[in-house]
Amino acid sequence: MLVKFVVQVRLLPTPEQAAALEATLHACDEAASRVSKVAFERTITASDARCASPAL
């Protein structure tokens, strides 16, 4: 049985931590965009992706 919890938190990062978080989120967004582009080019649907990864 898979149980998921969703939490909302407020971050109060230092300027250095904020810069690192922003860079990390930017890299994650870029990676997701590349995956989406490849999936679109190969006409992979969301249901195909879920079948390939049972954790989703």
pTM over 0.75: no
Checking if the pLDDT of 46 tops 80, the result is no
| Residues 2-44 pLDDT 10s | 899 999 999 999 999 999 999 999 999 999 999 889 888 887 6
At 56 the pLDDT is: 47
3 in a domain, yes or no? no
CB within 8 Å of 15: residues ≥ 6 apart: none
6 in a domain, yes or no? no
| C-alpha dihedral sign at 47, 49, 51, 27 | negative
7 in a domain, yes or no? no
Amino acid at 2: L
Q: Which domain holds residue 42?
A: 15-52
